[in-house]
Amino acid sequence: MPWEDEENGIEFLAIPDVNYRLTVMVDYQSPALGTQHASMYHIGEFNKEIAKCRTFVFLRELEYLAKNNLIKGGDLDNAIVLVERPTISQDELTKLAKLLGKEDLKVSVEGIGVLNSTKLQYENEPARHKLLDIVGDLALIGRPIKAHILAARPGHSGNVRFAKVLKEQIKKQQQKGKIFDLSQPALYDINDIEKMLPHRFPFLMVDKIMEITEDSIWGVKNITMNEPVFTGHFPGNPVFPGVLQVEAMAQVGGIFALSKVEDPHLYSTYFMKINNVKFKQKVLPGDSVVFELKLMSAIRRGLVEMAGTAYVNGKVVAEAEMLAQVIKDKEA
């Protein structure tokens, strides 16, 4: 997804990725800064490679910033000052030091156009700091990011505007709902499910299991007018009860747990706790309810804790967190 501020030469591009990855290019037509690049291949690199990188400012900007009280916390130890002129007088340095309230500080031009009392931590430290700014500003989205973000000439204003674009895109995707391919072959059909679960009509609430991974599962329950519960819930206004939605969700979770043991027909799964149950909208005859569950913690001593979400046409209809225990209580 591209975004551009042509007037200021700011460019962003977000590409789907399994990790949160960033690539930054900095080029402000400055002989002191030149063109710099910085990359973060995954968020695990942030603390060691990015977090300590200092902000930077051009020497020509210092007087304006100081007079307007915009750099009260600024110091030559926590900021890099870039010098674009080949020479600078000691009188000018002394004047700036006084303006900054650092009269006793001795400074000189060092390295690649840097006015500082310390060396650059990295040759591309300014670009790394711009990457740091992007990480902080995109955190305003409030969601984990799985994308490769490419940025050219970024700054806080552009970062925040791009964050708003991403957040708006997330809202649009949520409104469309989550997409499940119900036409794909089932992993377990109803005959397979009956070999794993002890439930039978009218209390077998799973029609098919579509996918199981190391830590997740999703399956389907088709709601028809033939459900016995509609006899009384409610005459003339059939609504599939929330408690049965939770039961169906739990049965999908039970299949996940039993799929992880040998001879699953020798085990039973028992409810222990249900938390944070929410019902978002009615489930009616004709609906196909997709139950998606993910492990909240590793399975230990037969205890299985999962977070589940129920969808109809991609929209969330119910949510719950459940704890159950798998017990081997049958003989071969």
> For residue 332, what pLDDT band results from cuts at 50, 70 and 90?
confident
Lowest mean pLDDT among 34-43, 49-58, 71-80, 204-213: 71-80
Query: What CATH number belongs to 190-328?
Result: 3.10.129.10
Report the pLDDT averaged over residues 106-124: 68
Give the pLDDT confidence of 131-178 residue by residue, as tens digits. 999 999 999 999 999 999 999 999 999 999 999 999 999 888 877 888
Residues of the chain with CATH 3.10.129.10: 190-328
What's residue 111's pLDDT?
Answer: 46
Report the pLDDT averaged over residues 263-289: 95
What's residue 103's pLDDT?
Answer: 64
Examine the pLDDT at 272 and tell me if it is beyond 60: yes
Could you list the active site residues?
A: 156, 233
- CATH class (in words) of the domain with range 2-176: alpha beta
Phi–psi pair at 61, nearest 5 degrees: -95, -15
User: What are the C-alpha distances in Å from 311 to residues 99, 108, 280, 282?
Assistant: 62, 64, 10, 11
Query: 38 near 127, Cβ under 8 Å?
Result: yes
Close Cβ partners of 31 (under 8 Å, ≥ 6 residues apart):
84, 113
Residue among 242, 238, 274, 253 nearest 206 (CA): 253
User: What are the C-alpha distances in Å from 206 to residues 23, 273, 319?
Assistant: 45, 21, 17
Residues of the chain with CATH 3.30.1700.10: 2-176
In this prediction the pTM is 0.61
Question: β-pairing, 79-82 with 55-58?
Answer: parallel
Distance CA 252, CA 107 (A): 68
